Structures are given as C-alpha cells and as structure tokens.
Amino acid sequence: MSQKITVTLVAIAAIAAITAAGIYYQNHQASQLEKSFKRNTILEQWNEFKQKFGKKYADQEFERYRIGVFAQNLEVIKNDPSFGVTKFMDMTPQEFEQSYLSLQLQQNFNAEKVDGDFNGDIDWTQKGAVTPVKDQGSCGSCWAFSAIGAVESALILNGEDKNINLAEQELVDCATTPKYENEGCNGGWMDSAFDYIIDEKISQTKDYKYTARDGKCKDTSSFEKKSISGYKDIPQGDCKSLLNALSQQPVAIAVDASSWQFYNKGVLSSCGSRLNHGVLLTGYVNETYKVKNSWGTSWGEKGFIQLKSGNSCGLCNAASYPLA
C-alpha cells in the first residue's frame, strides 16, 4: 500500500473516531441533561408535595430516602388515570399497609338476605344522612370509623341531630380484647364495635376526643351516650342484598384498599379482594358506588372514592348495618 493511501486511510479513521466521539459526547450530554431535568422535576414535585401536606423529616438522610420512595411512586401513578399525588406518596406499599390497612376480618354469623328490588340511584350524602369525613391518622382504627359512620347515619335517619359526632376513640380504648376481639390502633372489626355499642352505648367526641393512639378506657358514666338496638350482616358476595340495604341506609363494608394509596379522583377500576380496610358505603349512582373513607378530606374526592359496580374491591363480601 502506498504511503499516500495509508495517510488517507489514517485520516479517514481519525475523522470517524472524532465524529463518533462527538456523537457520544452529544448523546452523553443529552442523557445527562435529561437526567438532570428529571431530577429537577422530581424535586419540584417533592417540594410541592411537602408544602401541600405539611411534611417534615428528621434529617437530610431520611428525607433523601423518602424522595427516592416518592420518585418510585411517581412511576406507579402513571398507570391509572384515577391515581395522583396523595399524602401517602412518601410511603412504600408495605409501610402504607402496615399503618392503614389493619382490618381484622371475622366471620359474619347472623347474615341474612335483604329483600327489595333496588334498581335506581341513591346518595345518602345528598339526603343529609352522612356525617363529615374524619381522619383516623396513623392509627389503624378504620374499623371504628366505619362502624361509627354507620351508626351516626342510622341515628340521623331515626331522627337524631345531623350534627351528631360519636367517639371513635372510645371504641379504640374500650372495645378491646378479650370480650370484643379488637386491638385498638392495631385493628378491629365493625361487628365487634356494634356489639360494644349495644352493650355500653357510645359517647360523643366532645366528651371523648380522638387521639389517634391507644389509651386507657375512660369512665363514661357521666357522659350523654347513644346506642343501637342491633345490627345485621349481609351474606358474603350478595351484592343485590347490599344494594337493597343501601336503599334503606348507609352500610359498613370491608374492602381491599391496597390500591387506594394513590387514589385521587374518578372511578377506581383496579382492585383486589383481600379485605383489609373498613369504610362506609354511602351511595350508588350511575352504576358506581360512592364510599366514605377516613383519611381526611385531602384524600380522594374530598374524602370519598368512586368504585365501579359489581363486587369491586370485595365490597360485597363483608357488609353490615346497625339498627337504630
């Protein structure tokens, strides 16, 4: 090969190498810019999240960990149009379940069908029979809020003042094992709460304030208390009986709320059936259930969630309602 040809080939190889290096540098720079932009976007969302929900962290290292969890959850909420940034975005699914999904499922022994032919719409919130949304905090007391919500509604429909506000904390402190098989902030069951209210009646929140933690059962003998005469369970999986009962009053239900961590608005369609949370069924409109939760008004649709018709989230599998 002549010296001229060799020089030419070397020059071409050098130009190719320089071009490749340039392309690599440009791609690398673009990749770095993209990563930097993504980091900045996540940090902006993180700061908005902290401000909106009043979040504070013990130290920078712990906050960095929570930012990582937040970033992972941002990827999750892309998968469902009903998902959004909630106050639980800095929690792993395991942490969320441990703190909020502590229902202790028990057998419904006195289940019976509810006669009727419900085929329309009902929304008890529009009829003034549902009390305001409350917040259980980080105490696993969903069972108490579900039961109290059902009792408040039953009493309103029986003529009680619409501003009635009964004491979940009394159930947390007093409706405990061994007699009632509840464990306060570690979970419980709505029927056991009804049993306690039948036996002991229930105080009002103004006299027995909610603390979101386990406490010693107070002497309530001087308090004005309310009661129920009994309760009924709905047969497992009997959605027709559930709707017939709902046509009479709001109903305490158990659900699988594992996917509710990120619920923001609209109809939630992706649900399991592993019952782990107690809530209150308050309506059925346009073939969609309306459910009152106990995670405050900043969650979901001002504290409510919409579920598709049928046995969505297992809501027909363990339902009961009190008798005023």
Instruction: Let me know whether 66 and 203 are in one domain.
Output: no
Instruction: Let me know whether 68 and 120 are in one domain.
Output: no
Nearest to 166 by CA among 189, 190, 197, 198: 197
Catalytic, 142? Answer yes
Amino acid at 186: N
User: What is the pLDDT of the chain when averaged over all its residues?
Assistant: 90
Instruction: Let me know whether 35 and 171 are in one domain.
Output: no
pLDDT band at 177 (very low <50, low <70, confident <90, very high): confident
What's the pLDDT tens digit per position in 71-89?
Answer: 999 999 998 999 999 999 9
Least confident of 84-88, 240-244, 266-270, 290-294: 266-270
Instruction: Let me know whether 150 and 287 are in one domain.
Output: yes
Least confident of 15-29, 54-68, 264-278, 308-322: 15-29
What's the pLDDT tens digit per position in 156-165?
Answer: 999 999 999 9
Helix (H) or strand (E) holding 268: strand 267-268
Last residue of a domain, one of 83, 114, 145: 83
Specify the number of domains making up the chain: 2
Instruction: Let me know whether 138 and 57 are in one domain.
Output: no
Catalytic one among 277, 313, 316, 317? 277
- pTM for the whole thing? 0.87
Q: Write out the residue range of the structural domain in which residue 112 sits.
A: 94-323
- Residue 212: CB atoms within 10 A of its CB come to 15
pLDDT band at 208 (very low <50, low <70, confident <90, very high): very high
Catalytic one among 182, 293, 313, 317? 293
Instruction: Let me know whether 176 and 272 are in one domain.
Output: yes
Instruction: Let me know whether 79 and 101 are in one domain.
Output: no
Catalytic, 79? Answer no
Flag whether 218 is in a domain. Answer: yes
Query: Is 172 buried (19+), middle (13-18) or exposed (0-12) by CB count in 10 A?
Result: buried
Flag whether 89 is in a domain. Answer: no
212's tokens: 């979101």
Task: Mention every residue, 6+ apart, whose C-beta is less than 8 A from residue 151.
Answer: 166, 194, 197, 202, 226, 228, 322
CATH classification at residue 134: 3.90.70.10
Instruction: Let me know whether 164 and 242 are in one domain.
Output: yes
Q: Is the Cβ–Cβ distance between 235 and 316 less than 8 Å?
A: no
Catalytic one among 108, 139, 142, 276? 142
Instruction: Let me know whether 124 and 200 are in one domain.
Output: yes
Catalytic, 174? Answer no
